């Protein structure tokens, strides 16, 4: 959908899988981001050139 409408897309799953410690990005529930996951999200959002 993002491609169709020319919108930026963050593939965090791909980025997280590059790590040898994927679980460090998630809390123990396996759903919510940990502090490391939130830092990755902010880093990726800041890297988007929207303007």
Q: What is the pLDDT of residue 12?
A: 85
pLDDT digits (tens, 9 = 90+) for 2-40: 889 988 888 888 888 888 888 899 999 989 999 999 999
Q: Answer whether 37's CB lies under 8 Å from 25's CB.
A: yes
Q: Which residues pair with 26 in a beta bridge?
A: 33
pLDDT in the model for residue 2: 84
Query: Phi/psi of residue 12, each to 5°?
Result: -70, -30
Q: What is the pTM of this model?
A: 0.72
Neighbours of 5 (CB within 10 A): 6
Q: How far apart, in Å, are the Cα atoms of 46 and each of 2, 40, 41, 43, 50?
A: 18, 10, 9, 5, 10
């Amino acid at each position: 959908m993002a491609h169709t409408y020319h919108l930026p897309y963050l593939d965090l799953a791909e980025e997280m899988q590059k790590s040898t410690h994927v679980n460090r990005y998630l809390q123990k529930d396996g759903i919510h981001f940990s502090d490391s996951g939130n830092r990755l999200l902010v880093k990726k959002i800041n890297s988007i050139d929207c303007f």
